[in-house]
Structure 1
């Protein structure tokens, strides 16, 4: 039976649309998956991969995104949730790939995914991951983490605006192409209203910058004729290996992505008038971890539930899970067309660097938005301040110190995001969950209580 639309949604979660409208709204969701366009190419640039190798990652991302989105929308979670590559896994794969190789990075992600699947088995109350994520998904934890991620990624964007020495257009010509890319993205964000123009602003910026680069003779598309028209994603494109420290890093990335997804399940479900309890949350997380585990075998970057796609649902009022299932199905189809992946892999690097600069800034400012909901008493400062400054300070450790760190330890300590989330979760649990209630009990009866994340004193 079709579900009646809620006050928030014009088209309810269980309602269907005509085939043309389903395809149109599904296309909007597909265009919002900016991580597929940017993260694989940036990994390729940082690790000196060939375009063909990068295209393998793109194909893996399409496959992973499609599988998880279809499963979330249809049989398991039954919510209009769209999954896509996330910055947390991008950072983890880049760091681990540089130290141990991508074969070990993806292999360790698969092992971590299997562990998280066990922790989220959706059998009554056995799934532990839902309990863990709800316990520590405070705005102070993830708000600060997003700012740390933005700061860590800042070094990747702007330096690439000028291109690569020895390539066409290095210097001023590529810089102006990057400027056009940024102006287009900002223009779409500012003047795009509540349309797909704003939701896919990064994609339109990439399209504009690429077109200008082609007209100026600075870029030519990769030859799709060099690959078959239809071909399955490549199995273990970088080999296979496992390193325990990378497994830990990937577990942290899964934790961040899973907690973010759990919050999105609850939010989107509430728009459709549905309660998303712990058992249903664990079903969604199990599906996400299963899809990421499978996708890692084909070079896919780990996913989370995209807030951009939730924004599309909120703005359009179309909450049909059959629309998001269609978007997932389209992503699976694209995974089997290697020419599309090769084209994305060959996009001009200055354009992607410029677009990623805005994307990384948005990630950081999303953290600032979350932190604006926190009332900053001394206890909350004790959680966020040391984690923030120590995590970002890792990037400036003396070379003599880092040279003496073993690769296994460096995989964790060398990543601001990874050490940041460890410190934030541990400090939050100790200070806000453990110490704050004790201090509350010791306060005078007529004193205003200090709730977690709240205080009457501000900085």
Structure 2
């Protein structure tokens, strides 16, 4: 990459440097394109779990549009919290914020089948959980010891495993079609497979922004495929566009405010995981973009911004925000560390969030097409968790911790009826699978003693066990 028209190598490593606007604006939009699909997907998933109708004539269609709109708006606002900052809030680094996948396994049981009635408790939990998340900014450096790769890798893997079912359901035709003859049809799967193959092609056979935006390009190609095969009509697109306003402001506590103990506990516990994820992203940005370690002030400020951004979003009907890891790789690729470039991207997101017609166009994406992208995205979440687990020393102690936590957590996800007699609050928390797995892993990691010397490890494969001596 040449630096003459953008800045000197020293300037490019400076978060306070602003490249010429002719370069800064496209670079800022690059950051938005890299995270755009991932940012709006959680809102669509939560709306689907709540039972909202996806057609433009559905009475719930305005609520779905509003949730998509808030995802864009508050991702942009939270990004400005990070890049510009105020007081202790914000890392003043090029951190892109977006709607977090980590909270989806908590949110789905809270809203499942309840429609709009389930949203007051959901957004009450987002708001209070966000405030708690912000408080973690004062102690994040002191609690990291309780969240080693064994715990964080397990939790991230569990998040992905909890969501892969959603990807398959979407690719097969969507939750409303389960049990119908058209569910799982060749037409549905063909659209999803087009997205997957195009995404793979652009990810591995192109470079630069084409590679970074592979999922978005895959969905665009899948969208065109849906138009050509009759899965989507121009009349449907026009109807969605016509039913959406040209400009709209967010409404504070649009769905009311309800204190739900299950929601508050769930969001507060997941805030620990989200905070550790942000610490990793901040460290990745400073290492990849500036060649240095992140300071305590930057880590604390980033955690504050995570929490305040989520709390503000919750007050207006938005979902929890966190730093987006895919943009960390983009900074390493471009070599441009400027926080003002990302500020431009944040402003672009805010503008999109104030124009409901943008959300209306997004919602015309057929669920099967979105399913193809979701399969890739959620699979990558699982892969990221496994990558984190590669840093674990797999002795007997850690294997037992992982085994018990995964068995209980995943088992409760697969068989929620096993705890049907628990009180509602505890039942919701347990059937998420994620929280019991995380709690078991954290507690066992703190109380079980570390082995004092190298030990024999038991390898079990195909029903046959044999003992090998661990390398010393």
1:352 aligns with one of 343, 356, 370: 370
Shift of 1:36: 2.1
Give the equivalent residue in structure 2 for 1:14: 16
CA distance in 1, matches of 2:77, 2:142: 25
Task: In structure 1, list runs of 5 or more residues that go unmatched.
Answer: 121-126, 449-454
Pick one of 391, 403, 419 that aligns with 1:402: 419
1:429 Cα deviation from its structure 2 partner: 2.3
CA RMSD of the aligned region, Å? Answer: 2.5
Farther-moved stretch of structure 1 (325-334 vs 143-152): 143-152
Contact 1:104 1:243 in 2 (8 A): yes
2:302 to 284, 289, 311: 284
Q: Deviation digits for residues 294-350 of structure 1, max 9, x if unmatched?
A: 001222221221110000000111111111111111111111101111222332111
Give the whole-Å Cα distance in 1 for the aligned partners of 2:376 and 2:384: 12
2:328 aligned residue: 310
SS of 2:322's equivalent in the other structure is: strand
Superposed structure 1 runs of 4+ greater than 4 Å apart:
166-170
Per the alignment, residue 201 of structure 1 pairs with 214
Q: Is 1:81 the counterpart of 2:95 in the alignment? A: yes
Q: Give the Cα separation in 2 of the matches to 1:258 and 1:250.
A: 12
| TM-score normalized with structure 2 length | 0.85
**Residue-by-residue CA offset, 1:198-224 (whole Å, 9 max, x unaligned):** 212211111111111112221132522
- Matches of 1:174 and 1:323, distance apart in 2: 39
1:33-82 deviation per Cα after TM superposition (whole angstroms, max 9, x unaligned): 13223221122222211332121111111122111111211233111111
Alignment-derived partner of residue 56 in structure 2: none
Q: Any idea what SS the aligned residue of 2:103 has? A: helix
How much has 1:397 moved relative to structure 2? 2.9
> Does the aligned pair in 1 maintain the 2:202–2:211 contact within 8 Å?
yes
Aligned to 1:180: 194
**Higher deviation after alignment, 157-166 or 339-348:** 157-166
* Contact 1:266 1:276 (C-alpha < 8 Å) held by counterparts: yes
How far is the alpha carbon of 1:184 from its aligned partner?
1.1
Q: Aligned equivalents of 1:172 and 1:233: distance in 2? A: 40
Tell me the SS of whatever aligns to 1:223: helix
Please give the secondary structure, in 1, of the residue aligned with 2:220.
helix
Report which stretch shifted further, 91-100 or 284-293: 91-100
Asked if 1:423 corresponds to 2:466, the answer is: no
Structure 2 counterpart of 1:451: none
**TM-score when normalising by structure 1:** 0.87
How do 1:53-452 and structure 2 match up within 5 A?
A: 53-75=63-85, 76-98=90-112, 101-120=118-137, 127-132=138-143, 134-164=144-174, 165=177, 171-193=185-207, 195-219=208-232, 220-221=236-237, 222-270=239-287, 271-397=289-415, 399=417, 401-431=418-448, 435-436=449-450, 439-440=451-452
Deviations 1:84-135 (A, max 9, x none): 1121122222222227812101111211212232343xxxxxx123322x22
1:40 equivalent to 2:19? Answer: no
Q: What residue ranges of structure 2 are gaps of 5+ in the alignment?
A: 1-5, 53-59, 456-467
The answer on whether the counterparts of 1:174 and 1:350 sit within 8 Å (CA) in structure 2 is: yes
- Local SS of the residue matching 1:246: helix
1:155-210 Cα deviation digits (max 9, x unpaired): 111122231537999722222111111111111222123x1222122111111111
| Inter-partner Cα distance in structure 2 for 1:398 and 1:111 | 26
Offset, 1:4: 7.0
Distance 1:251 1:18 in 2: 41
| Distance in 1 of aligned mates of 2:340 and 2:107 | 32
